[in-house]
């Protein structure tokens, strides 16, 4: 039989089964069936796993889309289960749930799910309650964040807030939502924005007119925390923010907001230490009062030498003219219109300047100005007079020889705007110093002796004039000019001119 089968295979005749082969054939068929079933099971499991992964990824993508619209992840998953994975229906359900929570009514989906049963209704009710609780937690969190943000941004710049609002407004106008998901996201963003500035619940959108009014009021109430100027640059803060944090702080009123009388009086008071400016303004206002029709008196050119030398950079000078109704024309001109000439205002300005002339600051400044002018004339007289040059040489010849190097005491003398220095020995006397001073002007020692002028020691406090008559033969060490001395020639006060002594005060250290 084996030979027959071999012959059949060689000749191409199909193999003939015999009873001897039946057990082997049945076993092979059984194995083939089992292998086929195992292969089908593996293919089904792989297909199920792939479908599960795809479904998982698809669900996560849907949840991510709903979170991008502003909803919570747990709310999004509940809504997707209730709507069989339909994103738009889930967004509508979440939006209706939010509106229903605000109005006190339950949310009802737009169309029932495919498997709507009694158990499904219970599940929807549980899902609605969970979303309501999540919504309340989210609103509380947003209110807390809004309060923290309002405190943190209270010290920020107003310009940054305005720019941010403008950008957000432009973006909102350029993209208006058209789908239900877009409307839900827009609604959520609007509620979040209102929650940062309001109470959170039931906040209604302000009309355009109310918004414009509130912005204008905020602008008028804003001020510069550094300079105190309303609407100025730099750091700005609303007035209610300042009063809440610093209730006892009061912002001073600007000069331009004060009355004309107060402006004029304050400007005149600031000008009192500058007698040249006071005198110039007094003459100018007097000319306007006497001849108001003359245009020449009602125009001030700030480029002229007179204005530069007397009024430029003097505190209160230009403000005084502006308070007298002068107006700026261009960069270098002040003009008073004929119709703006007010005799009462001119009288008030002249009265304020007259009061400034009676102050001690004005009188002291007047004395210093006359002293500087006379010193300048004395110093220039040596170039014009040969006799003055000879007298100065005689004073210098009486001075002792100057120590060399770093020996002796360095004496520094200030005469008006000029400062001179020379060294003296410790046993040199005050007369030697006066002879040295006479070498810079022969008339100076005589004016010091007559107390028209005085010699003061700047190293002593309080500064007291040196009695040159009583201390003429005293050494520099005795009068306090050792190892150095700082002296200055000043115009004498009225009290020093009247007194012959310093009130019993002892000069020097001995």
Provide the pLDDT confidence category of residue 5 given band limits of 50, 70 and 90: low
Q: Determine the average pLDDT of the residues in 199-225.
A: 46
Predicted local confidence at residue 123, as pLDDT: 61
Residues 324/345, Cβ–Cβ less than 8 Å: yes
Percent residues over pLDDT 90 in the chain: 35
Rounded to whole angstroms, the Cα distance separating 35 from 130 reads 50
Higher pLDDT, 351 or 9: 351
Tokens of 366: 């007047």
Mean pLDDT of 225-232: 43
In the three-class reduction of DSSP (H, G, I as helix; E, B as strand; rest coil), residue 486 is classed as strand
Sign of CA dihedral 46, 49, 53, 55: positive
Per-residue tokens: 272: 């009192």
Which of the four pLDDT bands, split at 50, 70 and 90, describes residue 83?
Answer: confident
Among 25-29, 156-160, 256-260, 267-271, the minimum mean pLDDT is found in: 156-160
pTM of the entire structure?
0.47
Residue 423 has pLDDT above 90, yes or no: yes
Q: How confident is the model at residue 359 (pLDDT cuts 50, 70, 90)?
A: very high
For residue 489, what pLDDT band results from cuts at 50, 70 and 90? very high
Residue range 28-69, pLDDT digits in tens? 666 667 767 766 766 666 565 555 555 554 778 888 888 887
What confidence tens digit (pLDDT) does each residue in 282-300 have?
A: 999 999 999 999 999 999 9
- pLDDT-wise least confident of 74-78, 170-174, 191-195, 455-459: 170-174
Rounded to an integer, the average pLDDT of 179-207 is 56
Comparing 100 with 171, which gets the higher pLDDT?
100
**Residue 414, helix vs strand vs coil:** strand
In this prediction, residue 508 carries a pLDDT of 46
Structure tokens at 399: 């001075």
- % residues pLDDT > 70 (the chain): 63
pLDDT at 107 over 60: no
User: What pLDDT is stored for residue 201 in this prediction?
Assistant: 44
Catalogue all structural domains in the chain, each as residue range(s) with its CATH number: 22-145+180-198 (no CATH), 256-358 (1.20.58.2190), 385-498 (3.10.20.90)
CA–CA gap between residue 491 and residue 260 (Å, rounded): 37
- The answer on pLDDT for 400 being more than 60 is yes
pLDDT level of residue 307 (50, 70, 90 thresholds): very high
Write down the pLDDT at residue 147.
76
pLDDT over 90 at 326, yes or no = yes
The 3-class secondary structure across 37-104, one letter per residue, is HHHHHHHHHHHHHHHHHHHHHHHHHHHHHHHHCCCCHHHHHHHHHHCCCCHHHHHHHHHHHHHHHHHC
| Residue 400: Cβ within 10 Å count | 14
């Amino acid at each position: 039989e084996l030979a027959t089968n071999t012959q059949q295979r060689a000749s191409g005749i199909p193999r003939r089964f015999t009873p001897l082969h039946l057990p082997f054939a049945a076993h092979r068929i059984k194995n083939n069936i089992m292998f086929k079933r195992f292969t089908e099971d593996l293919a089904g499991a792989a297909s199920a796993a792939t479908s599960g992964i795809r479904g998982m990824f698809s669900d996560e993508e849907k949840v991510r889309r709903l979170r991008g619209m502003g909803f919570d992840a747990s709310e999004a998953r509940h809504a997707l289960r209730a709507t069989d994975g339909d994103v738009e229906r889930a967004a509508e359900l979440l939006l209706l749930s939010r509106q229903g929570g605000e109005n006190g009514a339950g949310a009802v989906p737009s169309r029932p799910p495919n498997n709507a049963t009694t158990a499904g209704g219970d599940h929807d009710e549980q899902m609605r309650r969970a979303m309501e609780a999540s919504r309340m937690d989210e609103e509380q969190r947003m209110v807390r964040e809004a309060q923290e943000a309002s405190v943190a941004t209270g010290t920020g710049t107003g310009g940054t807030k305005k720019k941010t609002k403008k950008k957000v407004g432009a973006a909102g106008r350029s993209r208006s939502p058209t789908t239900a998901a877009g409307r839900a996201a827009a609604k959520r963003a609007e509620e979040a924005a209102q929650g940062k500035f309001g109470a959170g619940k039931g906040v209604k959108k302000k009309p355009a007119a109310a918004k414009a009014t509130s912005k204008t009021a905020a602008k008028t109430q804003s001020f510069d925390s550094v300079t105190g100027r309303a609407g100025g640059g730099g750091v700005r803060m609303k007035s209610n923010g300042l009063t809440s944090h610093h209730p006892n702080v009061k912002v001073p009123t600007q000069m331009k907001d004060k009355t004309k009388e107060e402006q004029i009086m304050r400007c005149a008071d600031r000008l009192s230490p500058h007698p040249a400016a006071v005198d110039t303004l007094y003459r100018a206002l007097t000319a306007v009062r006497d001849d108001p029709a003359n245009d020449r008196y009602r125009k001030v050119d700030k480029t002229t030498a007179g204005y530069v030398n007397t009024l430029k950079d003097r505190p209160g000078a230009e403000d005084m003219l502006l308070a007298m109704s002068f107006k700026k024309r261009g960069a270098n001109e002040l003009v008073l219109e004929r119709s703006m000439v007010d005799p009462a205002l001119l009288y008030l300005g002249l009265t304020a300047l007259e009061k400034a002339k009676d102050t001690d600051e004005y009188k002291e400044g007047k004395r210093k100005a006359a002293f500087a002018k006379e010193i300048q004339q004395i110093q220039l007289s040596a170039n014009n007079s040969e006799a003055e040059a000879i007298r100065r040489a005689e004073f210098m010849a009486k001075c002792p020889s100057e120590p060399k190097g770093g020996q002796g005491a360095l004496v520094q003398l200030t005469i008006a705007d000029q400062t001179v220095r020379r060294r003296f020995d410790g046993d040199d006397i005050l007369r030697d110093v006066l002879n040295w001073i006479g070498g810079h002007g022969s008339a100076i020692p005589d004016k010091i002796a007559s107390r028209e002028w005085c010699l003061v020691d700047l190293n002593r406090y309080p500064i007291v004039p040196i009695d040159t008559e009583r201390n003429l033969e005293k050494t520099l060490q005795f009068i306090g000019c050792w190892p150095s001395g700082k002296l200055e020639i000043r115009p004498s006060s009225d009290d020093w001119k009247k007194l012959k002594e310093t009130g019993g005060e002892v000069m020097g250290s001995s």
